[in-house]
Amino acid sequence: MSDTAYVQLLDLACGAFLLAAVLVLWRRELAVIVRVFALQGLALAAIVAVIAGHDRSAELGALACGILALRAGLLPWLLRRALAGAGPAKETRPLVNVAASLLGAAVLTMIAYAVSGPLVTLAPSPATHAVPVGLTVVLIGFFVLVTRRRALSQVVGFLLVDNGITATAFLTTAGVPLLVELGVSLDVLFAVLVLQLLATRIRDTFGDTDLDELQELHD
């Protein structure tokens, strides 16, 4: 794979990765959000595949397939299963309206670029140049966690953060050691399982999963 093709493919994948995060912020229907999240999993797998191709390492290729299976297949499936039982599939009015959220995303992108300055200067390579994308997705994920009311959109927010970190990991050092990567993925999977179970329990006891009503425990 020639360098220019590698750079173009990598930028294409990172672009798609970032676009998916912004789309999660933009759309309000939960079903669409889950589909966009699956797309982002795909884009992430593409990033890893491109790097694997560039470095010609079979282990990275296998990891790309693993990520594809987990983040594009299993997790979206779990979310859809939780969504199926849910009542109105629409995100009620989020704490910060959509326009402000998008502006926020822009600001977060600038912050991510400013912060990842030293990262890029440490080892300037096409992959590290794309690191700010990873950081932006982390910050957008955190923003989704903070502003969306529905339980499931908070889970998607958490998964966005995790996708962003995994992307950063692969873009900087072609991934953390295999043992750690496995552990992290397992933890994320368990976390989503727990959150999904809790979400269904909340729907049974509180009627709907609007998290803003969960304010009985206060000082």
Partner 1 sequence: MSVAAAAMGLAMAVAAVAAVAAVITPASRRQPVVGVATAVAGAAGLVSGVAAMAGSGYSVALPWLLPLSGLAFAIDPLGGLFVAVVGGVAVVTAVYGIGYRGHGLGSRAVQASFPLFIGAMLLVPAAASAGTFLVCWELMSLASLVLVVTEHRHQPRVAQAGLWYAVMSQLGLVAILIGLLVFAAHAPDDGFGSLRAAAEQLPPAARGVVFGATLAGFAAKAGIVPLHAWLPRAHPEAPSHVSALMSAAMVSLGGYGIVRVGFDLLGDPGRWWWLLVLALGAGSAVYGILQAAVHTDLKRLLAYSTTENMGLVLVGIGAAGMFASAGARVLAGLALAAALLHVINHAAFKALLFLAAGSVLRATGTRDLDALGGLRSGMPVTTALFGIGALAASALPPGTAFVSEWLLLQSLVHGLPAAGTATAVTMPVAVAAVALTAGLAVATFVKAFGVGFLAKARSPAAAAATESPPTMLAGMAAAAAACAGLALLPALLLPAVGHAVAAADAGAADPAVRSAVSLRLVGVAGSLSPLLLATALLAAAAAVLITVRLVARRAGRVAPLWDCGGGPLTARMEYTATSFAEPLQRVFDDVLRPELDVDVSHHAESRYLVAAVEYRRRVPDPIEQRLYRPVLAAVAWWGSAGRRLAPGSVHRYLGYGFYGVTALLVVLAVTR
Partner 2 sequence: MAHPTTLLLAAPIALPLLGAAIYAAAGWRRGTAFTGAGCAAGLLAAGIALAVRTSQPGAAALTAGPLRADALSAYMLVAIGAVALLATAATPSYLRAELAAGRASPRTCCRHGVLVQAFLAAMALAVLAANLGVLWVAVEATTVITAFLVGQRRTRTALEAAWKYVVICSAGIALAFLGTVLLNFAAAHTPARPGLDWAALAAGATQLDPDVTRIAVALLVVGFGTKAGLAPLHAWLPDAHSQAPAPVSALMSGVLLTVAFYAVLRVKAIADPAVGAGFTRALLAGIALISLAVAASLLLAQRDYKRMLAYSSIEHMGLLALGAAAGSRLAITAVLLHILGHGLTKAALFLCSGRIQQSTGTSLVAGVRGLAADQPVLATAFGLGIAALTGFPPFSLFASELGIARAGFSSGLGWVTAAALLLVLVIAAAMAGHTGRMLLGAAPDRGPAGQPAGAGTGTAHRRLPAGTAVPLMAGLVACAALGIAAHPVHQLLLNAADTLIGAP
Q: Which residues bind partner 1 (CB under 8 A)?
A: 95, 108, 111, 114-115, 117-118, 139, 142-143, 145-147, 149, 154, 211-212, 214-219
Quote the least distance from Cβ 112 to partner 1, whole Å: 8
| Non-local CB neighbours of 16 within 8 Å, separated by 6+ positions | 39, 40, 42, 43, 46
Quote the least distance from Cβ 158 to partner 1, whole Å: 10
Distance CA 139, CA 104 (A): 10
Using CB under 8 A as the binding rule, the residues of this chain from 130 to 189 that contact partner 2 are 138, 142, 145, 151, 154, 158, 161-162, 164-165, 168-169, 172-173, 176-177, 179-180, 183-184, 186-187
Nearest-10 crossing angle of helices 30-55, 3-26: 160
Which CB sits closer to partner 1, 63 or 169? 169
The 10 Å Cβ neighbour count of residue 201 is 11
Helix-strand-coil percent breakdown of the chain, rounded to 5? 80, 0, 15
- Residue tagged 């729907």 (tokens): 203
Quote the least distance from Cβ 217 to partner 1, whole Å: 5
- Residue 60 token pair: 């990275």
**Contacts with partner 2, residue ranges (CB under 8 A):** 115, 118-119, 121-123, 138, 142, 145, 151, 154, 158, 161-162, 164-165, 168-169, 172-173, 176-177, 179-180, 183-184, 186-187, 190-191, 194-195, 198, 201-202, 205-206, 211, 214, 216-217, 219
